[in-house]
């Protein structure tokens, strides 16, 4: 398999000078000594190779013919939650692609048959069932039973609610999407779903380095969306939004309609006066920025230009290459919603927004390296407790289910007490007074 895609990123790799800033949050925002680590992998495994920088250097070593793709390399590369923080960290100080190198390195290893065994199974499931877990316990549209929602494209609607794959296997997550649908109906939204024909967004294929599969799933999904003639797609889970907004345009093509996350759409309804939140919810909450709703949902910006030289050896791009620092993710809408709910006491954690700490659910890590997935979640729960949170709110089905499972399993490290984790939609539902 050729190395063309990796080679095209060589200049970026060479820009790493091992400052290790990608292991911690940006220095200006350091506030609490215990909550400064930002790379879950480097935090647990420590050797430099597990950090974002390590992956740049290993990719360079591969290109320079110093190492061969092997299982050790695969382990170092896939013990990474694909959270994209290292990219944000590095771009605080320089204009080099880090996340792209990480992902292309994965793709190269997959091409060489070096995917972790657990991932092979997941990819097979995606290929066969469109769902990473295999044949889903319930069909893709089962969550909507009894709601009387229009099923597209046979019928027409203005807004398509995209549920995502988690609800098919997770009743709690299915309940969240039901609540979202009820909220939208309550606000008078002309709503439709794809029912059992809803495709997978494909994000797990992206995480696991299966470029072809992800590209195919993305293209298929966009074609299905096109047939619905909706004006807006609302993604219930942050993970799907990241795929639609940032990865589809990079790997396939962007959906040709407006794509919003549930929090963005709910906030719109609130500000238009179509949804009100009169009922107090008494809770001290903190908020987990999901990676693929936050930094990894920054819209993909294609660059077309030339590289030139000036002042002897200075290189510059004309027009300047856009640097995506992850700051254009969805950060404000969930926060504005939390602030709009009466009775809520909202405290931020120490690592938020573009420098948020990953919960450990991404990158295919829970399937292949559960100890890493667990350690990240437990560390984040400790932080949530440290800011006095009694309720950890998130806006991504993957994060919510992962936090929940980690606390149920317990693992080797015992947590002091369980923390309740909820999707923000549940709070909106309660505040809107729809829970009876």
User: Which chain residues interact with other proteins by CB under 8 A?
Assistant: 11, 14-21, 23-24, 26-33, 36, 46-49, 53-54, 57-58, 60-62, 64, 66-67, 70, 72-73, 76, 88, 91-95, 310-321, 323, 325-327, 353-355
Instruction: Please check whether residue 396 is in contact with residue 424, taking contact to mean a CB–CB distance below 8 angstroms.
Output: no
Cα–Cα distance between 312 and 302 in angstroms, integer?
28
Touching ligand SF4, residues 31-50 (CB under 6 A): 39-42
* Residue 324 touches ligand SF4, criterion: CB under 6 A: no
311's contact among ligand SF4, other proteins, none, with CB below 5 to 8 A by partner kind, is: other proteins
Residue closer to other proteins by CB (options 4, 311) is 311
Residue 41 binding: pick among other proteins, ligand SF4, none (C-beta 5-8 Å cut-off by kind) = ligand SF4
**Is residue 4 classed exposed, middle or buried when 0-12, 13-18 and 19+ CB atoms within 10 A define those classes?**
exposed
CA dihedral sign, ordered 17, 18, 23, 24: negative
DSSP string, 243-274: IIIIIHHHHS---SSEEEEHHHHHHHHHHTTS
Q: Say how far apart CA 124 and CA 129 lie, in whole Å.
A: 8
Structure token pair of residue 32:
């609490």
Nearer to ligand SF4, 35 or 85 (CB): 85
> Would you state the structure tokens that stand for residue 39, as one six-digit string?
């790379």
Count of residues in contact with ligand SF4, rule CB under 6 A: 28
Q: Does 90 bind ligand SF4 (CB under 6 A)?
A: yes
Q: Which stretch, 53-61, 66-74, 119-127, 247-255, contacts ligand SF4 (CB under 6 A)?
A: 53-61
Which parts of 92-121 interact with ligand SF4 (CB under 6 A)?
98, 102
DSSP letter assigned to residue 288: -
Smallest distance, Å, CB 428 to other proteins?
A: 26
The least CB distance from residue 176 to ligand SF4, in Å, is: 26
269 touching ligand SF4, by CB under 6 A: no
**Which entry of other proteins, ligand SF4, none binds 66, CB below 5 to 8 A by partner kind?**
other proteins
For the chain, the distance separating the N- and C-terminal CA atoms, rounded to the nearest angstrom, is 59
Nearest distance in Å: CB 148, other proteins: 43
**20 part of the interface to ligand SF4, by CB under 6 A:** yes
Q: Tell me the HSE value of 76 on the side-chain side, using a 13 A CA sphere.
A: 20
Residue nearer to other proteins on the CB measure, 33 or 117: 33
Between CA 387 and CA 34 the distance in angstroms is: 12
28 binds ligand SF4 (CB under 6 A): no
CA distance 387 to 232: 36
- The token pair that represents 102 in the structure block: 């990480």
Residue 165, Cβ neighbours under 10 Å: how many?
Answer: 28
Residues that bind ligand SF4 in the complex, under the rule CB under 6 A: 16-22, 39-42, 51-53, 55-56, 80-86, 89-90, 98, 102, 358
């Amino acid at each position: 398999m050729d190395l063309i895609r990796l080679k095209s990123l060589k200049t970026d790799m060479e820009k790493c000078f091992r400052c290790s800033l990608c292991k911690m949050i940006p220095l200006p925002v350091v506030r609490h000594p215990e909550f400064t680590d930002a790379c879950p992998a480097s935090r647990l495994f420590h050797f430099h190779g597990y950090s974002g920088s390590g992956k740049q250097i290993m990719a360079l070593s591969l290109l320079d013919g110093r190492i061969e793709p092997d299982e050790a390399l695969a382990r170092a590369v896939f013990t990474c939650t694909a959270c994209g923080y290292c990219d944000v960290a590095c771009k605080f100080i320089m204009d080099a692609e880090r996340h792209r190198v990480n992902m292309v390195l994965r793709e190269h290893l997959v091409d060489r048959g070096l995917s972790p065994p657990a991932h092979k199974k997941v990819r097979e499931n995606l290929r066969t069932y469109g769902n990473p877990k295999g044949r889903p316990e319930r069909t893709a549209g089962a969550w909507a039973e009894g709601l009387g929602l229009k099923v597209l494209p046979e019928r027409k609607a203005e807004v398509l609610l995209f549920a995502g794959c988690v609800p098919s296997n997770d009743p709690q997550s299915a309940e969240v999407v039901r609540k979202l649908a009820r909220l939208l109906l309550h606000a008078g939204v002309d709503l439709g779903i794809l029912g059992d024909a809803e495709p997978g967004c494909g994000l797990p294929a992206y995480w696991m380095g299966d470029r072809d599969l992800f590209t195919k799933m993305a293209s298929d999904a966009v074609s299905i969306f096109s047939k619905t003639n909706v004006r807006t797609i609302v993604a219930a889970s942050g993970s799907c939004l990241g795929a639609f907004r940032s990865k589809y345009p990079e790997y396939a093509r962007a959906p040709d309609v407006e794509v919003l996350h549930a929090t963005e759409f709910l906030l719109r309804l609130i500000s238009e006066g179509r949804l009100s939140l009169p009922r107090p919810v008494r809770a001290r909450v903190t908020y987990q920025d999901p990676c693929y709703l936050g930094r990894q949902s920054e819209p993909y910006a294609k660059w077309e230009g030339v590289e030139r030289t000036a002042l002897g050896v200075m290189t510059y791009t004309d027009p300047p290459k856009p640097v995506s620092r992850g700051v254009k993710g969805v950060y404000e809408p969930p926060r504005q919603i939390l602030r709009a709910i009466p009775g809520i006491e909202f405290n931020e954690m120490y690592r938020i927004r573009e420098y948020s700490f990953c919960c450990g659910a991404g990158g295919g890590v829970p399937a292949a390296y559960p100890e890493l997935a667990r350690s990240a979640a437990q560390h984040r729960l400790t932080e949530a407790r440290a800011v006095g949170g009694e309720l950890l709110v998130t806006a991504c089905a993957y994060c919510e289910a992962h936090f929940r499972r980690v606390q149920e399993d317990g693992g080797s490290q015992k947590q002091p007490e369980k923390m309740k984790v909820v999707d923000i939609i549940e709070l909106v539902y309660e505040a809107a007074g729809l829970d009876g």
